[in-house]
Amino acid sequence: MTARILVVDDIEANVRLLEAKLAAEYYGVLTAHDGPTALAMAAAEKPDIILLDVMMPGMDGFEVCRRLKDDVATRHIPVVLVTALDGRSDRINGLEAGADEFLTKPIDDMMLFARVRSLTRLKMVIDELREREASGRRMGVIAGAASRVGGAGGRVLVVDDQPRQAQRIVSELAVEHRPVVESDPEKALMTAKGPVDLVIVNAGAKGFDGLRFAATLRSDEATRHLPILAVVDFDERPRLVKALEIGVNDLLSKPIDPQELAARARTQIRRKRYTDYLRHNLDHSLELAVTDQLTGLHNRRYMAGQLEALVRRANHGGEPVAALLIDIDHFKKINDGYGHDVGDEVLREFAVRLASNVRAVDLPCRYGGEEFVVVMPDTRLTDAERIAERIRTHVAGAPFRTSGDKDLLQVTISIGVAAASGAEDTPEALLKRADEALYEAKASGRNRVIARAA
């Protein structure tokens, strides 16, 4: 797994050293020697990771990181602060500025590359979600972009069998989050499938293997995207690397620093909320792509795909499939006489009546305008005709209330019915027969059902 990495340092020798190490591992490397150049390159080049020195003249790394995280175009890029500073306050400042990690010089190559691989995986997921969200906005099915999300008020699951350490974590997090403790890993797995924003696991637990617990979270579809913060002993370097390899998002060293705990938890919760926002928009755009926004029924695009599969199955000896093509009689007169707002009310009310008079397996769709289609799996022509008559009777039997119950409209429908012949039939031929039957129903007086055999 490769990536494009922006290395930022005012000392040329440091830049060249990192560039050589990264290039040897087949990473693409961009370089900058000051804060303003780094900001411009990050916005223009969109690197996958930024390795950012702290001690730079003019604009230091903390300020560069803050500006990167304040910019909607770059805030999703992981930032690793690289510095000779090793003080607690510097580490906290870096994390609170939005940095994803804080590495000290001389850089431990094993930890550097483990971090780079872990952050690259994260960046790939976010990039894919962002790209799909952008596509949804271009198509008009997603309005607006993500605003900056907060990292407070999170639901945190602490998985630890050491009561004193767990209680310290809970006490610190309870200031701005809602933490709960679970010492039993089996119960913790069930809790993690609920509304949880962050899991903090003790990698050095005595009664269970913390890393195996983390790996189980990653392998379960229900918890795969949960951020995991592992409490570890930084002297156990191979175990740290293994934690990152199995998908732990961040590491917290023992003894636990309260401010560092708070900063790392806040960062992970903020990122989860951002990716949740992107996933929600993706799900919403997919739903809108197959749903008619006025009636809430499936649209023509979705209907075509489902009908094609059902007709193909019927042609190969599977269950029969039927289709109803429905037209609201004299709908133009409703629009012309009462206005399009009333026409929309009629369409919505008809969609409700249609959906309530077909079976759970049937697929009612808006075909376009005032035309609707019902795709009926495992249905023969005579059964489809009977259901069509039930729909027609229900529509004609009670007037439609519109405009705040002031007006009562008598609405009727005409229905054409057809069924797949099973002899190399096609969706187009099936719908054409239903359309011919519908034309016959309208020509013979409307408010009736006509079935057309193959």
CA angle 166, 172, 178 (to 5 degrees): 85
Q: How far is CA 56 from CA 35, 74, 222, 260, 265, in A?
A: 8, 20, 44, 23, 28
Instruction: Indicate the angle between helix axes 381-397 and 340-356, nearest 10 degrees.
Output: 130
- Going through 84-210 in order, the beta strands assigned E by DSSP cover 101-104, 155-159, 178-182, 198-202
DSSP string, 54-95: S--SSS-HHHHHHHHHHSTTTTTS-EEEEES---HHHHHHHH
Distance CA 77, CA 68 (A): 8
Cβ atoms of 262 and 233 within 8 Å: the answer is no
Residue 356: count of CB within 10 angstroms of its CB: 10
Which H/E stretch holds residue 168?
helix 163-173
**114: Cβ–Cβ under 8 A, 6 or more apart, which residues?**
240, 241, 244, 245
Q: What is the pLDDT of residue 142?
A: 47
Distance CA 259, CA 265 (A): 10
Q: State the sign of the Cα–Cα–Cα–Cα dihedral 242, 246, 251, 252.
A: negative
Per DSSP, helices labelled H in 316-409 are: 331-338, 340-356, 381-397
pLDDT tens, residue order, the chain (454 aa): 678 999 999 999 999 999 999 999 899 999 999 999 999 999 999 999 999 999 899 999 999 999 999 998 898 899 999 887 666 777 788 888 888 888 888 888 888 888 888 888 888 888 777 776 665 554 444 444 454 566 788 999 999 999 999 999 999 999 999 999 999 999 999 999 999 999 999 999 999 999 999 999 999 999 999 999 999 988 888 888 899 999 999 999 888 989 889 989 998 998 888 888 777 766 555 555 678 889 989 999 889 988 998 998 888 888 899 999 999 999 999 998 888 989 999 999 999 999 999 998 999 999 999 999 999 999 999 999 999 999 999 999 999 987 765 678 899 999 999 998 767 789 999 999 999 999 999 999 999 999 998 7
Provide the pairing of β-strand 28-32 with 178-182: unpaired
Q: What is the pLDDT of residue 87?
A: 67
Q: What is the pLDDT of residue 379?
A: 93
Both tokens of residue 108? Answer: 């431990």
Active site residues: 370
DSSP string, 276-308: HHHHHHHHHHHHHHTB-TTT-SB-HHHHHHHHH
Q: What is the pLDDT of residue 137?
A: 55
Residue 267: count of CB within 10 angstroms of its CB: 23
Q: Tell me the pTM.
A: 0.63
Q: Which residue has the tokens 């529509």?
A: 395
Q: What is the pLDDT of residue 352?
A: 93
Q: Which residue has the tokens 């027609």?
A: 392
